[in-house]
Structure 1
Amino acid sequence: MNKIQQFNQQHHSSDLLFLGNAWDLLSALTLEKAGFQAIGTTSWGIANSLGLKDGELIDFDQHLRIIKIITEHVSIPVSADIEAGYGEDTDTIVKNVLRTADIGVAGINIEDSLKKQRGLRDISQHARLLLEIRTALNQHGYKDFFINARTDTYFQKDNPLLETIERGKAYVESGASGFFVPGVILDSDIHGIATQVKAPLNVLSLPGLTNCNKLKTLGVRRFSFGNALSDKIIAVMENNAAQLLALKDTTHLYED
């Protein structure tokens, strides 16, 4: 079984897939050593590690090199967060997806947010893009490559549930393997989306939305924590650096 097949199977096993989000090789190796069965890169965390903000501000080649290093050094499947595809036209985005597949990842996250302005791609436009991506992947030998279609309705819409379900159905019909809805919190909304969109549902950890076992009962198949771990690590580094300078003492670096 190759990693693409393994990753697909992880979304349909009896257990919820708890995905560890990495931003560099050290974080990826640490997550693998801890026992995570798959890794998803976090574009936010990668951007922060380079002193940038999220939002496709990194050169795509540089972003891809980091993902490639991770993929080459872990034995578990890796899913690449490529934001909205790093392109303004379908051909560029499809080419970028194929380049990402070529480095050995088992899947991608691709979102429907616009990057140069607020808003989401039109539903039919994004569905056509997903169909083009799926077709190109199949033609290049990447059958069953996992396309996790992310919608940002819960970040950008006031009453997002019905549109989220509409988008989810359209995206799955166009070739998406899974449906990612970051920002959803209400149990009733999560259950409604999981019930009506016939693909594995991925939700994002947020304050108050943290427990894998509870999410599994609502129909969630994949749970990720995005940039939360990288933010936590950065905060620890900042606090320790400030303490070193304030105390002019390194004692606390050796304390348990």
Structure 2
Amino acid sequence: MNKIQEFNKLHSSKELLFLGNAHDLLSALTLEKAGFKAIGTTSWGIANSLGFADGELIDFDRHLGIIKTITANVKIPVSADIEAGYSEDIDGIIHNVLRTADVGVAGINIEDSMKKSNGLREITQHCKLLKELRVALDQHGFEDFYINARTDTYLQKEYPLMETLERAKAYVDSGASGVFVPGLKKDDEIKEIAMNVNAPLNVLSLPELTNCNKLEALGVKRFSFGNALSDKVIAYLEKNIDDLVKLMDTIHLYRN
């Protein structure tokens, strides 16, 4: 069984797939050692680790280099978060996805948010992308490559449920393997989407959304914590550096 097949199988298991999110090789190796069955990269965490904000502000080659390093050094499947594909046109996005598949990942997250303007990509346009993406992957030997179609309706819309259902169904019909809805947190809405979309539902950990058993019962198949680990690492570094500076100031005063 190759990594793509292994990753797909994890989404059809009775158990919810708890995906650990890595931002560099050390975090990936630590997650693997902790027992995670698969890893997803976090674009937010990768960008922060290089001193940038999220939003495709770093060079794609640099981003892909980190994904490649992680994939080459862990034994478990890796899914790559490549935001909206690092291009404004379909051909450019497909080229970047194929390059990502070439480094050995088992899947990607691809989102419908616009990067150089506000709002979401128009549904028919995004469906066209997904259809052409699936064909290109199949033609290049990446059959069943996992396309996790992220929709940012819950991050951008005031009343997102109905549009989320519309987009999720259309994305799956266009070739998406699963649907990722960050910001979704109400039990009844989670259950409605899980029941009405014929593909695994991925939700993002939030302070009030951490119970894997409950999410599994609601129909969620995949659960990830996004940039939470990288944020904690940064917070830990800042606190300890601040404490270290205070200690050094105290020693300096004592010596004087």
TM-score, with length taken from structure 1: 0.97
Whole-Å separation in 2 of the counterparts to 1:209 and 1:24: 25
Matched letter for residue 59 of structure 1: D
Give the CA deviation at 1:166.
0.3
Whole-Å separation in 2 of the counterparts to 1:240 and 1:197: 45
Report percent identity of matched pairs: 73
Structure 1 unaligned spans of 5+: 251-256
Structure 2 unaligned spans of 5+: 251-256
The alignment yields a C-alpha RMSD, in angstroms, of 0.9
Runs of 4+ in 1 over 3 A off after TM superposition: none
Give the match for residue 247 of structure 2. 247
Give the match for residue 165 of structure 1. 165
Match status 1:236 vs 2:223: no
Give the match for residue 96 of structure 2. 96
Match status 1:64 vs 2:64: yes
Give the match for residue 147 of structure 2. 147
SS at match of 1:108: strand
SS at match of 1:11: helix
Give the match for residue 16 of structure 2. 16
1:116-135 residue pairs with structure 2 within 5 A?
116-135=116-135
Give the match for residue 253 of structure 1. none
Give the CA deviation at 1:93.
0.2
Matched letter for residue 73 of structure 1: N
Give the CA deviation at 1:158.
0.4
Give the CA deviation at 1:211.
1.1
Q: 1:248 to 1:75 in 2, by over 3 A?
A: same
Whole-Å separation in 2 of the counterparts to 1:158 and 1:145: 33
Whole-Å separation in 2 of the counterparts to 1:17 and 1:205: 13
Match status 1:191 vs 2:197: no
Whole-Å separation in 1 of the counterparts to 2:41 and 2:198: 25
Give the CA deviation at 1:249.
8.2
Give the CA deviation at 1:117.
1.3
Matched letter for residue 14 of structure 2: S
